[in-house]
Copies of this chain bind each other. A is one copy, B any other.
Amino acid sequence: MISITVDEVEDIAIGAAVMGTGGGGDPHVGKLVAKQAIEQHGSVPLLSPDELAEDDLVIPTAQMGAPTVSYEKPPGGDELVKSVKRVESAIGQKAIATMPIECGGINSTFPIAVAAQMGIPLVDADGMGRAFPELQHETFNIYGVSGTPAAVADSHGNVCLLDTVDNVSLEWIARGITVRMGGTGYLADYPMTGTQVQETAIPNTMSLVKDIGEAVRVADGDVVEAIAEVTAASIYGEACHLFEGKIVDVKRRTEAGFVLGHVELEGLGEDRGQTMRIDFQNENLAAKVGDEYRITVPDLITVLDRETGDPIPTERLRYGARVQVLGIPTPEIMRTPAALEVWGPRTFGIETDYRPLNA
């Protein structure tokens, strides 16, 4: 069994920024919280989904709401543990492990802190395989797991336990609670048996995120190639360079708690003379070269700094920046007809059918 130490957390934070596809919150804050928890409580065993017994209870954890609030006011430490315990007591069973619901962005690292604090392992899997904005955007939801009983806690000590009739209602009500909690809440949801994890989670994504981070960290020159090598050996498939250009326009607005907009690139290098437009809602959703969609959700689109290779979140895209655009195909479990009904391009208002990257 691999263990997550403070070194692995460094790599996970880098990989989670790549898999965040422009959103999911800056993994930096989560990284600090996770490192502190590991220093205090010891390293966190990473448990393969295969190692779970049928009836083992796994309770995933995540931060919900505006990640910016966490930058200003990181969680005090026991908010997520409180939520897990509330769900445990609603079910009447102890969780043998926690798990991320989202392997991109800030939510890749918070569950590591929870695992350290509770002295339990982290399952090497998640339900988004990247970052997505809402709680129904989960393979757990797509393949029939109830999101509740779920709990949301805040840093003051308030805790809400939710039982909802479906997972869209969970998203809707929990989102309202996090707004009242000051913009961010700490969530335990989609409690699952070992069998349910094996049947619905995207396996080995925490290892993948760590490997991507490590590859980026040691890359000598071409970051895209380094990432491509790692993903090619995974269930995702080979990542690829999509475009190189200069940002000539950014439109960004905040609506109903989401950051919506698009960015326009003018080609550089081999792409000179062409343009790319990337639409986003927190995360990058679709990219067109000229009039033609080159990639859409659920496939991953990440904008990297052209010089340093650092992923640039949608909220930090700036006029004049020179960037390259990376695409990562998604594994089969994320692009079944059932999955595309929940997070295909049309569910985000992108008027095209999904066509797998490089298909």
Contacts and interface: CB of A to CB of B under 8 A. Distances in A.
B180 A173 contact: yes
B158 A160 contact: no
A192 B165 CA distance: 29
Contact of A165 (B156, B165, B172, B180): B156
Contacts of A159: 162-163
Contacts of A180: 172-173, 175-177
Interface in A152-168: 156-165
A181 interface: yes
Contacts of A48: none
Contact of A176 (B156, B165, B169, B176): B176
A179 interface: yes
Nearest to A180: B176
Which one of A159, A179, A181 has the greatest number of beta carbons of chain B within 10 Å?
Answer: A159
Size bracket, chain A contacts: 10 to 19
Nearest to A172: B180
B158 A169 contact: yes
A164 B172 CA distance: 20
Contacts of A157: 164-165
Interface string A127-171: 000000000000000000000000000001111111111000100
Contacts of A160: 160-163, 173, 177
Contacts of A169: 156, 158
Specify how many copies of this chain sit in the oligomer.
2
Interface string A71-96: 00000000000000000000000000
A157 B173 CA distance: 12
A214 B160 CA distance: 42
A266 B142 CA distance: 64
Nearest to A163: B159
A156 B159 CA distance: 22
B173 A164 contact: no
Contacts of A181: 173
Contacts of A162: 158-161
A238 to B, nearest CB: 43
A176 B180 CA distance: 6
A164 B158 contact: yes
Which one of A156, A162, A175, A180 has the greatest number of beta carbons of chain B within 10 Å?
Answer: A180
Nearest to A169: B158
A163 B173 contact: no
Nearest to A179: B176
A98 to B, nearest CB: 21
Interface string A8-20: 0000000000000
Contacts of A177: 160, 173, 176-177, 180
Given A158-B165, A159-B163, 15 more contacts: A157-B164, A158-B162, A158-B169, A160-B160, A160-B162, A160-B163, A160-B177, A161-B161, A161-B162, A173-B177, A173-B180, A173-B181, A175-B180, A176-B177, A176-B180
21 contacts: A156-B165, A156-B169, A157-B164, A157-B165, A158-B162, A158-B164, A158-B165, A158-B169, A158-B173, A159-B162, A159-B163, A160-B160, A160-B162, A160-B163, A160-B173, A160-B177, A161-B161, A172-B180, A173-B177, A173-B180, A175-B180
Interface of A: 156-165, 169, 172-173, 175-177, 179-181
